[in-house]
Structure 1
């Protein structure tokens, strides 16, 4: 029961003699101004009064009609176990006192003669009420403390110097898979494993001995399922109210997730540092997938880069487990049907926004079977998509998602760098090729043009001295030869430039038109191809013209050095070969020891030839990204194969 007011004390006096009750009430109210005394003549009336209004204390006689004072006490205790109850009786004996104490009486006082007894009774009542009120305040504080402690997410506990838990909160009990009541009163040796208990005893004894708080880090304790957790305890000296007992208050934070994040981040930093030194897209993708597997345990991860046509996302590198989990390593075409893995990956690539799915089979965006159960899809600009995937649901935490972002962003930057390096290498190679060609031009200008110039100078001197018409003819021939060389040098330079916008070209039609430009009578062309190639029409025509011209000059019976078939018709064939097409004649062919030189500028086996025809063929092929080689034909003639050609379906 609680007091009516902060200072007032309401007392119920029960006695079968009304005169005694009134007298007692009068003297009590005089003895302590805080008292308000009401009376009852028996236990029944007293219980009715208690049920009707709050009282701070009950004073009762022992001998009364009906239930006596002890029985009245027992009934009060059933209803109001904390209410102060003083037995004030004229019949005193050790038996009554013992029985009253057993029933839970607050105090026992025997009636005497004189008024001083009321002063003593008033003091006893005031003390009993104050004690009860203090106890209630303490209990209220303890309830508030318990509520506060139990609301804390950290593990909170008070352990005395014997190692006994005096207080623990719900978080600590839940961590150990039990209740607060089960732990309070137990020792650290009974709750913790041997290693953790020994460490904890050492730490809290140090705090008790020094009186200084202590902060720890990296303390590992297993939960009730055996899973290790990392904690950061703070232990403070704590006064539990008993002068002879010392204790500590512990507040322990579970930093398992943070420790795991830091550990993963450290491992990721070591892995991603390798991305700064990769040279190719393939090597870069491999480093990234290995990092996803090692750091995030994402065994089904891979890097998928868009192809040159922009129609497919192709696997550049995947974790080895992908080959075991899938029948074939996935390839994601742009036109994949809705509900497929490929459609989802393309949506992420085109939207440029990452997607995380914790339960793939339960997600309505994918309706085809897949061994992946959790996935994070991260777009990488124009490069493609980083697929981070695992075989279990809810495999990735919020921390993992952040780590994937770091890894994917670093991967994208590394791919940008490798692209720049590849472009620089291409530019460097192109510059080297141009320098080589410049060297060739310089050689031709300094050497090959010097011969006709020498002839021209000599012929001019002779013509001036003799006026011989033959010397003028020699001059014209030398000028014509220099003019042809200069024209071929210019053409060689023009055809060495890159192709900007190739288009589909019918090879058979192009060959027929090119054949019409070759000056020949007896020779004939056999076209045995229906191939359509992506090329620059003009340059492809020039390539074919030069190959045809080479066959005619070196393969027909025209009296030249290669005249092995005088009087016979030369046949030139155009057909398909592996990776491209060929031009083949049935002439004498190219000797094996000369095949490495035939594409060099200025090289020719005929003294009247400038030697630039096949060099121009090679330059045109290189400008298209093709290769050209010479070998033996089926009939022993020369066969030129152009490969690396991009066919058009």
Structure 2
């Protein structure tokens, strides 16, 4: 127990001094004051913080009971021990009635040791009761302060009120709240926070450790703590408490072990109030932002946004919906679709509302609605709304006008029908006469040997190729079939087998796996290979390469064996390339290469690369033409 100051009172001055000296010797933790009268004792009590009064019964003109009564008038809880050899049962009874703390019979034996024990017990009990009373009083004041903190309208007000409570209620002399700036350095919040000579970082001292580990630290003596680094040497103890998602509260003191367990608990409680208040402010701020965004969406979206109750009555509609109906919003709220739409439309809309509530999940549907300017088609998504219970209280819906989309779909369907008709025309009305012409040419060749007949045969072949390419574009266009995981090297190998490669060679530098329609991808490779072979120049020295594109192009193009993972560069492929070692593209604009009918070859159809572009774009990819490192043509397909 910390040292206690004892006031010993005895009418015999010499006996008083002797007993006080012996009592102090009995307990090193005792300091003793002496008095020989009630008046002297009361004077000393006014001037010193005495922990316990010990009095003899006989005080010359007065008694120990007179002193007890006088003490109780000003200090009802101060421990008073009556220590006397002249006592009796009557004296003991009167002392107890007057509120004496303890009554010790003075004897010649070990009475001083016994008295010291009783003083220890009395002082300990008094201190515990005083601390409990003070903590209860502080707790009550903190609860009152918590109301003020919770009502604060901004962060600075929360911090100021909390620090005021720490100073006035917890009696912390030096304290502050600190948050971390963008440079990782603590900055004091508001002028009430203590400002250190040099603001620490999140890596410094107990403040930084509290922030990093998100837990409280109590340092009884900074001189014995390796982490503590006070900015002034006079500070000896510290208490740091994290404020989650915000910063740190810290109190420091000039003396060691300055923060009791009760004070630490009350400080934790204060910081909890601060944290809750800051969370509320953050929630309100986020809520305001969300409401502002929601209002902006409701005001500016072209979609119809609305909520309805279980009976289908509108509870909220946005401006777009109201404008479409040509009514003020207040004239729509409370009404049902049966009051705003034709019956057949209202019935379908109501059925979708009910389905969403019955399923307990979203419903997507096309709905029709009639307005003054005509009927429109909407793509509607509806979800159930819930209150406190498990049953839906209504629905929320977002309806997007897709009238133009549906009209475009109808137009595309008509175009498809015309393309189908065109394909039939090409297949029958063009291929049939061409077959007849080819047949007559063979008959003529049996009887006539003329050099121009080879040109006629070449023209027939070119016409047949053009017809096949046109049919490919008309029938397939930008459509692809079911996609699957395929290896580029295997698809390229099959494509190379279907091409007249002449003397050209194929190098495969990739075993990348892609999601693709294997047949359409093979067709794209075939057309790219034909283009390289037909326009590459001297095919005896021509080499065609297929490799992966990655973020590191140089690494991606390094030759490596395929089929064993050797071509894997360790980076995610971003596409693939097909290039040759031929004469290149020359002065041709690369954008023209993919236009239907464009060709630089006398015997080319001009549709091969157009088909490649359609296949690539149907997969959601892109294709570009350029030059290879050796000057040949290079086609890059990027995912």
TM-score w.r.t. the length of structure 1 is 0.33
Larger Cα Rg: Structure 1 or Structure 2?
Answer: 1
